[in-house]
């Protein structure tokens, strides 16, 4: 407190983080996304398919003028090694229901419980009453993607978490292994990496962020901006963005595979609800989560904090304006 006394205002990303000693002197400015950068800009059908094929996230069956990316996306294979993600077969990203989580390889991101819930989701598919829902869940694939640990110098835990995810994947049946893609996204080119994330999210029926803890998940913001319904959790940084039943669904216990499977099943079989949640998510992101909002709030903070003419002891025409 002695050192903080000299400051007029402080800024936090969430209200839950404001300590009582700063009550009344704290502003909230959410992290935001740039809708024009490579990770978030709109992709035409042509740009989307070219990104997928150039990154080896989809097989190309036609001649193309688009060169391959500097490094392909790599998918876990049955021999434990990684190969281009089109092996051993195409992922079917533009044809199937896809559930995607893209995060750093971190224990707190909840990759393993999400992966453990996927077989239970498939069991629910077999129990569906209508053939359409049986087929929908039967064709669903799960994509767990994160940056290639070799390209991230400040994340020593990543290799360990990725090994754990790979071990759980190897324990699945061959049929389930085909429907779960563990993918490393290369970091050789930041621009190409961002385009891969963009394309994967746009191909998704549901974007998951099964975090056990989360300060403020920009992957959630990115998905919402792309009008994708979100499967999240009730941790601070996610429930501040996602309202359960309005922008997607929130899991009460991110370590409970049964609950994860149940919420995912509800989302996947209700196509109309997914459309509504996606529209709501896009509107919410437009109003609250773009850099323009951050700029507006930042300027408001400065205006609230700047000295008024009475405090400054003189008239300032700029302040009057």
- The tens digit of pLDDT for each residue in 247-292 reads 999 999 999 999 999 999 999 999 999 999 999 999 999 999 999 9
The parts of the chain modelled with pLDDT lower than 50 are 319, 321
Q: Which domains does the chain have, with CATH numbers?
A: 1-32+290-307 (no CATH), 97-287 (3.40.50.2000)
Contact 196, 157 (CB under 8 A): no
Total residues found in the chain within this entry = 321
Tell me the two tokens of residue 270: 């209700």
Nearest to 69 by CA among 102, 109, 38: 38
**Residue 67: per-residue pLDDT:** 85
- The tens digit of pLDDT for each residue in 30-41 reads 899 999 999 999
- The tens digit of pLDDT for each residue in 80-91 reads 999 999 999 999
**Residue 321: per-residue pLDDT:** 46
CA distance 170 to 161: 14
**Residue 316: per-residue pLDDT:** 52
DSSP run (H or E) holding 206 = strand 206-208
- Give CA angle at 293 (145, 21), nearest 5°: 90
Nearest to 33 by CA among 301, 298, 295, 302: 295
**Residue 164: per-residue pLDDT:** 97
60 by Cβ neighbours in 10 Å (0-12 / 13-18 / 19+) ranks as middle
């Amino acid at each position: 407190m002695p050192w903080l006394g000299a400051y007029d205002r402080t800024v936090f990303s969430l209200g839950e983080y404001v300590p009582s000693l700063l009550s009344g002197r704290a502003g909230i400015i959410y992290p935001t996304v740039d809708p024009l950068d490579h990770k978030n800009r709109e992709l035409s059908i042509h740009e989307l398919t070219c990104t997928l094929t150039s990154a080896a996230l989809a097989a190309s069956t036609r001649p193309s003028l688009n060169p391959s990316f500097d490094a392909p996306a790599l998918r876990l294979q049955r021999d434990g090694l990684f190969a281009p993600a089109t092996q051993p077969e195409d992922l079917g990203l533009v044809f199937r229901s896809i559930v995607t989580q893209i995060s750093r390889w971190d224990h707190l991101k909840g990759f393993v419980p999400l992966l453990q819930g996927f077989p239970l989701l498939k069991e629910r598919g077999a129990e569906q009453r209508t053939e359409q829902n049986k087929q929908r869940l039967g064709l669903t694939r799960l994509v767990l993607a994160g940056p290639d640990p070799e390209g991230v110098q400040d994340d020593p835990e990543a290799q360990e978490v990725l090994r754990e995810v790979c071990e759980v994947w190897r324990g699945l049946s061959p049929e389930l292994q085909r429907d779960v893609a563990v993918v490393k996204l290369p970091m050789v080119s930041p621009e190409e990496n961002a385009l891969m994330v963009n394309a994967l999210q746009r191909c998704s029926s549901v974007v998951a962020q099964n975090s056990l803890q989360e300060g403020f998940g920009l992957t959630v913001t990115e998905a919402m901006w792309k009008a994708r319904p979100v499967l999240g959790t009730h941790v601070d940084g996610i429930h501040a963005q996602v309202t359960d039943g309005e922008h997607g669904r929130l899991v009460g216990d991110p370590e409970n595979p049964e609950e994860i499977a149940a919420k995912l099943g509800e989302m996947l079989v209700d196509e109309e609800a997914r459309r509504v949640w996606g529209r709501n998510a896009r509107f919410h992101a437009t109003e609250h989560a773009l850099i323009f909002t951050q700029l507006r709030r930042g300027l408001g903070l400065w205006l609230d904090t700047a000295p008024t003419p009475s405090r400054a002891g003189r008239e300032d025409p700029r302040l009057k304006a």
